[in-house]
Amino acid sequence: MTYSIVARDPATGELGVAVQSHWFSVGAIVPWAEPGVGAVATQANVQPSYGPHGLDLMRSGASAGEDLERLVADDSGSAGRQVAVVDASGRVAVHTGSSAIPFAGHCTGDQVSCQANMMASETVWPAMLDAYRKTEGSLTRRLLAALDAAEREGGDIRGRQSAAILVAPASGEGWQSVVSLRVEDHPEPLVELRRLVDLHDAYALASKADDCINEARHDDAARLFERARALAPGNHELLFWAGLGAAHAGDVERGVRDVRAAIELQPGWRELLQRMPPEVAPSAQAVLDRLRE
């Protein structure tokens, strides 16, 4: 009841899964990924244990093919399942059970697999693979392109409800992710998922800016907050911090204008501005004085 893609980015080693379905909270059961281990998408008459068990097998040294063979062999209901696996070396394995509801199928490419069931058309999964191959940029953006392509081909015959994306770095601890976002219930889940990815990217820049502040690198922080603001122009938090950054960089007029706009959206920012120590926000007092004039 789902279409999904699993892939490893050969340039970065990142491992990812993206999925959309007419089912509530699909992100809780379909996508699984772990740094340096692999990624799994488990769907159709879904068996969520394929995810953690598949990662356990790959963590113990199994290849994607060995992993899938074991998962399917140990499952008496495998005829109704659909599952795809990519390991940390980029090897891919996929299973579409004989009882998966048509239209159902899969196709694979270099370090990528696209799979779908209960689709409006047999063109869904080939279109996903084609879009993934033709899209440039990060693994996250390429996975999103594949989902959009599926929808253009008709997608899930029942419509749309939830979506998710999970990308793990090439190495790291099990809990780490590059991006981990879910849309649980929405009339346009892919549109909302893209909005969340954009907001995620903005806050990733803001987090780097926070690190710069902790290291007293306020010029660098100002530049990062401005980039974050550009990605999410309607976000009052990023507007506030970008305003302080602009004032620190010498554009006090711009800084006051942005901070005032943030306060209009969320009045609590004025109180917070008064609490700012100079080591955190060197321009805070100057902006506050101008607002009081």
CATH superfamily of 201-292: Tetratricopeptide repeat domain (1.25.40.10)
pLDDT number for residue 234:
87
2-186 belongs to CATH 3.30.230.10: no
Angle at 67 between CA 174 and CA 15, to 5 degrees: 40
Q: 87 near 38, Cβ under 8 Å?
A: yes
HEC letters along the chain: CEEEEEEECCCCCCEEEEEEECCCCHHHCCEEEECCCEEEEEEECCCCCHHHHHHHHHHCCCCHHHHHHHHHHCCCCHHHEEEEEEECCCCEEEEECCCCCCCCEEEEECCEEEEECCECCCCHHHHHHHHHHHCCCCHHHHHHHHHHHHHHCCCECCCCCEEEEEEECCCCCCCCCCEEEEECCCCCHHHHHHHHHHHHHHHHHHHHHHHHHHCCCHHHHHHHHHHHHHHCCCCHHHHHHHHHHHHHCCCHHHHHHHHHHHHHHCCHHHHHHHHCCCCCCCCHHHHHHHHHC
The reported pLDDT for the residue numbered 200 is 97
Of 150, 143, 129, the C-alpha closest to 178 is 143
Domain ranges in the chain are 2-186, 201-292
**Residue pair 6/39 in contact by the 8 Å Cβ criterion:** yes
Backbone angle region of 2, left / alpha / beta, with phi > 0 → left and psi within -120 to 50 → alpha: beta
| Nearest C-alpha neighbor of 3 from the set 138, 134, 139, 162 | 162
Residue 78: what pLDDT?
Answer: 95
| Sign of the CA dihedral running 184, 29, 14, 119 | negative
Please give the pLDDT value at position 293.
84
pLDDT score of 148: 98
How confident is the chain (293 residues) per 10-residue block, as mean pLDDT? 94 98 96 98 94 97 96 94 97 96 96 97 97 97 98 94 98 96 97 97 96 92 94 94 93 95 96 93 94 89
